[in-house]
Every structure is written in C-alpha cells, then in structure tokens.
Chain A
Amino acid sequence: SQTIHQWPATLVQPVGSPLSLECTVEGTSNPNLYWYRQAAGRGLQLLFYSIGIDQISSEVPQNLSASRPQDRQFILSSKKLLLSDSGFYLCAWSVAGGTGELFFGEGSRLTVL
C-alpha cells in the first residue's frame, strides 16, 4: 500500500533562518506531489505542485521554493524565513492523470519567531 511521510512534524525557527521540509511517498511511482499551507484559522493554500521531476509549478509568489530531487521526494525550502511563513504545511500526492484525489501527510507545524 502507499504511504506518505513528512518531516519534521514540528519546527521552531528564527526569522532569517533557512527552511527545509521533506516529503516522501512510498508504494507508488511517478506520483503528482503537492505542498499546501494553512495559516491560523484559514483554509488550504496550494503552494507548489509537481507532475514530474523538473516539472514544478508555483502557485503563489513568495520566498519559498520547492524541489523534486527524486521521483517520490518533494522538498520545500526557504533561504530566509519571514514571520509570515509560520503555519501548518501539508504534503500530498495523487495518481498522475487520475481524478486528483489527494492523499495527505500528517503535516509540519512551523513557527517563525
């Protein structure tokens, strides 16, 4: 069966520090991969999605970036965090060319101080 792992679960970082959140999917190949963010009391904001290695779409201009070094690995990064980057980050995957049904990771809580 397919599983998705996301880490770290919790992160507290100072303003201006770098960020790296990692996500790995197991049990499937060539998945579509996604990064979402939830700010406090707000809905889901799609940040990035990828339909293949070297194919990453950015939905919102910001100081975050995403990379897909391997087929089933998706990384969210920042060189310098802002206070506004605080939130709950969710990684998800879907079957390529399917219905779009998403399977979510457990999330990463980022607090920028």
Chain B
Amino acid sequence: AQSVTQPDIHITVSEGASLELRCNYSYGATPYLFWYVQSPGQGLQLLLKYFSGDTLVQGIKGFEAEFKRSQSSFNLRKPSVHWSDAAEYFCAVGTSGNTPLVFGKGTRLSVIA
C-alpha cells in the first residue's frame, strides 16, 4: 500500500523568501502525485499534479514541484512567497483505477512580514 510523509507540520517564512515543502511517498511503481492547498474553512484546491513525462511540473499561483524517483520525493517550491500563500498544503499519491488517494498529514505555512 502506498503512503505519504510530510515531515514538516508547520513552516514559517518571510514574505518574499523562497519556499520548499517536502513530500516523500512510498509506492512500488510510478505513482500519480498531487499537491493541494487549503485555506481556512475552505475545501482543497489542486495546485499541481504529476502523472508522467517531465519531472518538473508547473502549477497555479507560481508553484512548481519536482518528481525525484531516486529519492521518492515530490517537493513543492515557490521562489517568492506572498502573504496570501499562508494555508495548509497537502501532498497526495494515487494509483490507477478506483483506489482513493492517500494524503499526507499536511504542512501549515505561515507567512510573516
């Protein structure tokens, strides 16, 4: 069975600084990988996804993520954080078929001036 680890529960960054959120997965084959963002009291919104091909994927709001098979990682990055990026971020792994996605426990991002 697949699993996802987000090692950082809470990260605080200064506005304008770069950001990297870590995600490690466990799955025998090439997985489908996702990053979602959740603002307080809202549903989850898809930031980006990786299925195959180019290992660097671009998403919405200036985010990108890189799939590294050798490290079983799919870290999320943004070169310059904005205050509006403060939210909860979830990494998820999926397989083909009807098996539900497996989510990490999330990383809460705080942005300070």
A residues sitting closer than 8 Å to B (CB atoms) are 6, 32, 34, 42-44, 46, 49, 51, 88, 90, 92, 94, 96-107, 109
Q: Given the complex of chains A and B, what is the CA–CA distance between A96 and B96 in angstroms?
A: 10
A-B contacts besides A44-B106, A90-B44, A100-B100, 15 pairs, CB < 8 Å: A32-B98, A34-B100, A42-B105, A43-B90, A43-B105, A90-B43, A94-B101, A99-B49, A100-B32, A101-B49, A101-B94, A102-B92, A104-B36, A107-B42, A107-B43
B residues sitting closer than 8 Å to A (CB atoms) are 32, 34, 36, 41-46, 49, 51, 90, 92, 94-101, 103-106
Across-interface contacts of A101 in B (CB, < 8 A): 32, 34, 46, 49, 94, 101
A82 to chain B, nearest CB (A): 23
* Tally of A-B Cβ pairs under 8 angstroms: 62
Across-interface contacts of A92 in B (CB, < 8 A): 44
Q: Given the complex of chains A and B, what is the CA–CA distance between A66 and B34 in angstroms?
A: 26
Across-interface contacts of B42 in A (CB, < 8 A): 106-107
